[in-house]
Structure 1
C-alpha cells in the first residue's frame, strides 16, 4: 500500500529544480496535469448523466483529449527543459486554463457549475505563485471568462443571481488575497532586511575578531620555536588547541554570511581528488591527535572537474564534525564510483545519530543534543554549509547513521576527467630549499599581526621589511610581497602589489592575506597566480605557500 504515498512524494519532489529550490511554474504545471484528468472525468460523467445530446459529450471529450490534456503535458515538458522566468509561457498557460474552463462551463450549463471552483483556484493560485500583478491579471481573465460563459449559454443568462454571485466571488476573494499578499511581502521584506543585517554583522564581527586570532596564532608559532620547557610547551599546545576551536567557529560564521550574500560562484578546474583528501588529512592531523582519532585516507588517482576551494570547504566541515562527534574512533576518507560519477565518502565509527535527528541535520544552527551530553564546539552550521555549497556545484549530499555503529556522509555527482598532461619540466620536483635570505616585503596595518608575522618569517631565515601601509617613497626591492588586503587610507593589497611591481619593473610573487570573503578579494586582485589566504592562517600553510612560490620563481629563472 505504499504506492500512493510514493506517488505523492515523487510528484512533490518533481516540483523542485536541480538546486532543490521550489519552482512555482513547475509546481503549477504539476498541479495542472493532475487536476485536468479529474475535471475531464467529471465532465464526461456529468454530461452522460444529463439530458444533453451525445454529440455535445463527444465534442467535449475530443477537445479536452486532443488539445488541453496533451497541451498541459507539453507545457510541463517545456518548463522542465527550459526552467526559469518566461513571461510569454506564463501568459499562454493562463490563457489556456481560462479558455478550457470557459468552454466547459459554456457547453455544460448547470452541471458544470462546480468548475467555477477551479476558476477561483486558478485565479488565487496565480497570485500566490507569481505575485500581486499576476493576481490582478488572473482576476481580469476570470471576469472575462464569466462574461463569455453568460453570453454563450442561455442557462446562465436565465440565472442572473448565480452569475452575480460568481462575479462577486471572483472579485472579493482575489481582493482579500491581494491585501494578504501585500502584507506578506512587507513582512518578507522586513525579514529579508533583518537577515541581511545579520549577515553583515556576522561578516564584520568575523573579520574583526579574526584579526587578533590571526596574531595569536602567529605568536604561538614563534613560541614553538623558542626554547621552552616541557610544561611550557604543553601550555602552548593547549592554547593552540583552544585557538583552533575558535578559528573554526569564525570560519563557519564567515562561510554562512558569504553564502547569504549570494556572491559565491564555482570556478571548476581539473584536480586530483587524492591530493585534496591527503591535504585535508594533513591539515587535520593535529586535531585528530587531540581527539584520539585515527584519520585514514584511501588513496585514489582519479581526477575530477570541480571547484577545489569549495570542495575542500565541504570535506573539511564533514571531517571536523567527525572529529567532534566521534572522538576516539577511526575516521576514513575515500572515494567510490557510482553511475559513472565519483563520490567522496567520510565514515566514522562514533556513537551514531538517533533517527529522529536525521531529517534536521542539514538545518542551520541545528545540533544533536541529548540529555547528559557534554558540550561540543560549534554552532551547528557545518552540514548546512556543505549542503548549500553542494547546491552551487550541482552535487548531492547524503547522510546515513546507525546508533552504535557510526555515521557516513557522501558527496555524490563529481564528474570524472582524464589526468591532465603535464610537461617534463613541471613533473621534475626539486627539493624544497630553505628560506634563508629571501627578501620579503610585509605590509600589514595591524601592528600586532605585523610584529608576529615578521618575527615568524625571520625565524624561517627571511629578510623582512615591515610596512604598516603602502610603502610610497621607500626602497621596495624584494623577492616576495606578503600583504593584507585592507591597508587603510582607501588602499588595498591590490594597490600595494601594483605599486611595488611598477617600482621593480617586473611581476614580483605576492601573497594576499585577508579576513574577508576569498572570492571577493580574488575578483579585486584579478590575478589567479596570487594566492589568497584567509585569516587566521596556519604558519605551516603560510610557509608551504612561500616555498611553492620560491620554487616556481627558481624554475622560471632556469627556463629563461
Structure 2
C-alpha cells in the first residue's frame, strides 16, 4: 500500500481528488459544477451592477440603528457623496433619516405587525437637512435580525410638486369661480335693485295716469273720446301687469319673498276676485261663474290672490268663446281651487313648459304674443313657497283646467262668518267725506284729488306731515287719511299719520298707498294695523278701501 506521501509524490493532492485542484482536473472530474459556479458568478455580477446603477435607492438597515448597506442612488437621494458617506453619517434612522419621528414609529410598528409595507409616501432628511419626498417599500428580514429591513426608495419630488401645483391650480380655479360667482350674484342683485327702484319710479307716474283715466271714465264723454280713454286704460293696465310681474319674479329669484301667513276667509277672497273679473268677462263677451263654498285657510292672502288672479287672467286671455269658471272643491282635509276655461287648450307635451319664465304658447287664434310669459312662472313659484301643488289638464281646442291644492289639514281651518260687504257708498258716492291725501308727487295729488272729488269727497292734498298740520283745524279735520309711504327727506306716511292723530287726539282711520311692494313694508303696515294699497291704484280697490275706512267712522 502506498503511503499518502507516495500519493502526493505521484502528483495527486487532496484538492485534486475533490476537483478543487488544477483547472484541468476540475474540468475533467467536475464539469457540471464548474458550469454552475460560473453562472452564479455571472448572476452575482449582474445583481451587483443593478444594485450600483439602479435609479431607485436600495438599502439594508436595522430599524434600531442605521444603514447596513446602500447603493449610490440612495446616497444621491439623501444628498451624500457616496454610499460609504451615507452609512457613516446616518447611524440612527429615526432621528437622522426620517423628517418626522412619529411617522417612523408608525412605519416601524406596521413592519413589526405585518412584515412589509408598499409605496408609503413620506419625507426623508437630506444631508443639508432639507426634506425630500419619497415613496418607500420595506420588507422585514427576521432571518437576518429581529429588526433588519430591506427597502426600495423612489424620489417622487417631481410628482409631489406636480400634485401640489395641480392642487394650487384647483384652489385658484375655485377662487376664481367663487369670485366670478360673487360678481355675478352682485350683478344680479344690482340688477334686481335697479329693477325694483326703476319699477318704483315708473309706478308713480303710472299711478297718476291710472287715476286720471279713471276720473275721465266717470265723465260724460263723446263716443270716440270714450273709446280712446278705454284704450288708454287697457294699455295702462298692461303696463301695470308687466311691472308687477317683473317685480315679483325678481323677488322670487332672490328668494326674498317670504309667506306672511294669517287666517283668511277663502270665499270672501275669491268672491272679491270674481267681482274684479266680472268687467273683464263682460267686455270679452264671455260667461263667468263662481262655485265657492265657505272655508277659512291659513295662508298668505297677497300671494294666494296673486296666484288666482294670474290663473284667471290667463284663462280670459286665451278664451275667445264660452266662458271661465272659478271653483273651490273640498276633499277630506284639503281644498282645491280650480280655474276652468273653454279656450284654445294646450298640447299634452307642452303642459310643463308653460310654467317656464318668458315662455308663451301661441296657439292659432290667440292673437299672437300677449304679455311676457311670467304669469304662470309666478304661480308655480308662489305655490312652491306656500307648499301648494299646482296641476293642469288640457285638451287642444277644448279648454284647460288649472288646479291649486292647498295641502295639509293644518292649512284648512273652520269657516268664519263673512265680513259685511262694501257700504252703499261704493255705488252712491261718499257723501262729502273729508279725505286727506299725503303724497310727495304733485301728479299723484292732482289725479287722486280729481278722482275722489268725482266720487263726492272733499279732498285735501298735501305733500308732508308739516303741511297737513298747518292745514288742520276744526273745519278741516279729515274723516280718512290716505298717505304715501315714502315721503321727502326720508320721512314716511306712517310718521305723518301718527303726527296727525296726536294733534287731533284720536285714531283717524288711515291707510298707506304706496308703490313699495316689499315684504318688510307689508309686515310693518300689519304691525301698525294700517291697511296697504299698492300703486298703481285700481279704482275699484280704492273704492272698497275707502268704504271700509269710512265704515269704521260710522
Report if TM-score (shorter chain) is over 0.5.
yes
Select 1:375's aligned residue among 368, 374, 391. 368
1:432 is aligned to 2:393: no
- Alpha-carbon distance in 1 for matches of 2:230, 2:530: 32
Q: Which runs of 5+ in 1 are unaligned?
A: 1-142, 555-560
- Alpha-carbon distance in 1 for matches of 2:535, 2:457: 21
Aligned residue number for residue 544 of structure 1: 544
Displacement of 1:339 after TM fit? 5.2
Aligned residue number for residue 391 of structure 2: 398
1:407 is aligned to 2:400: yes
1:302 is aligned to 2:263: no
Displacement of 1:208 after TM fit? 1.5
1:264 is aligned to 2:262: no
Displacement of 1:325 after TM fit? 2.3
Displacement of 1:418 after TM fit? 0.6
- Alpha-carbon distance in 1 for matches of 2:136, 2:358: 54
Q: For residues 53-72 of structure 1, what are the structure 2 equivalents within 5 Å?
A: none
- Alpha-carbon distance in 2 for matches of 1:281, 1:153: 83
Aligned residue number for residue 418 of structure 1: 414
Aligned residue number for residue 157 of structure 1: 118
1:181 is aligned to 2:177: no
Select 2:205's aligned residue among 183, 195, 212. 212
Aligned residue number for residue 225 of structure 1: 218
Q: 1:168 to 1:397 in 2, by over 3 A?
A: farther
Q: Compute the TM-score of the two structures, normalised by the length of structure 2.
A: 0.66
- Alpha-carbon distance in 1 for matches of 2:203, 2:110: 71
- Alpha-carbon distance in 2 for matches of 1:470, 1:233: 38
Q: For residues 57-136 of structure 1, what are the structure 2 equivalents within 5 Å?
A: none
Secondary structure of residue in 2 paired with 1:513: strand
Displacement of 1:534 after TM fit? 0.7
Aligned residue number for residue 456 of structure 1: 451
Displacement of 1:429 after TM fit? 7.1
Aligned residue number for residue 241 of structure 2: 248
Aligned residue number for residue 118 of structure 1: none
Displacement of 1:355 after TM fit? 3.7
- Alpha-carbon distance in 2 for matches of 1:356, 1:174: 46
Secondary structure of residue in 2 paired with 1:284: helix
- Alpha-carbon distance in 1 for matches of 2:279, 2:109: 77
Length, aligned pairs only:
406
Displacement of 1:391 after TM fit? 2.2
CA contact 2:343–2:400 (8 Å) conserved in 1 = yes
Q: 1:336 to 1:441 in 2, by over 3 A?
A: same
1:192 is aligned to 2:153: no
1:474 is aligned to 2:467: no
Aligned residue number for residue 98 of structure 2: none
Displacement of 1:454 after TM fit? 0.5
- Alpha-carbon distance in 1 for matches of 2:541, 2:291: 23
Displacement of 1:174 after TM fit? 5.9
Could you say which structure has the higher helix fraction?
A: 1
Displacement of 1:502 after TM fit? 1.2
Q: 1:282 to 1:371 in 2, by over 3 A?
A: closer
- Alpha-carbon distance in 1 for matches of 2:357, 2:419: 44
CA contact 1:199–1:260 (8 Å) conserved in 2 = no
Q: Which runs of 5+ in 2 are unaligned?
A: 1-102, 122-134, 138-153
- Alpha-carbon distance in 1 for matches of 2:109, 2:445: 80
Displacement of 1:541 after TM fit? 1.1
Aligned residue number for residue 495 of structure 1: 495
CA deviation string 1:163-200 (max 9, x = no partner) = 99999999777655444432322222122112112211
CA-atom RMSD in angstroms = 3.2
The structure with the larger Rg is 2
Q: 1:191 to 1:465 in 2, by over 3 A?
A: same
- Alpha-carbon distance in 1 for matches of 2:115, 2:267: 77
Q: 1:442 to 1:162 in 2, by over 3 A?
A: farther
- Alpha-carbon distance in 2 for matches of 1:148, 1:269: 70
Aligned residue number for residue 128 of structure 1: none
Q: 1:177 to 1:454 in 2, by over 3 A?
A: same
CA contact 1:245–1:377 (8 Å) conserved in 2 = no
CA contact 1:441–1:464 (8 Å) conserved in 2 = yes
Q: Compute the TM-score of the two structures, normalised by the length of structure 1.
A: 0.66
- Alpha-carbon distance in 1 for matches of 2:183, 2:348: 36
CA deviation string 1:220-262 (max 9, x = no partner) = 1211222212332222222212221111111111212233444
Could you say which structure has the higher strand fraction?
A: 2
Q: 1:254 to 1:153 in 2, by over 3 A?
A: farther
Displacement of 1:271 after TM fit? 2.1
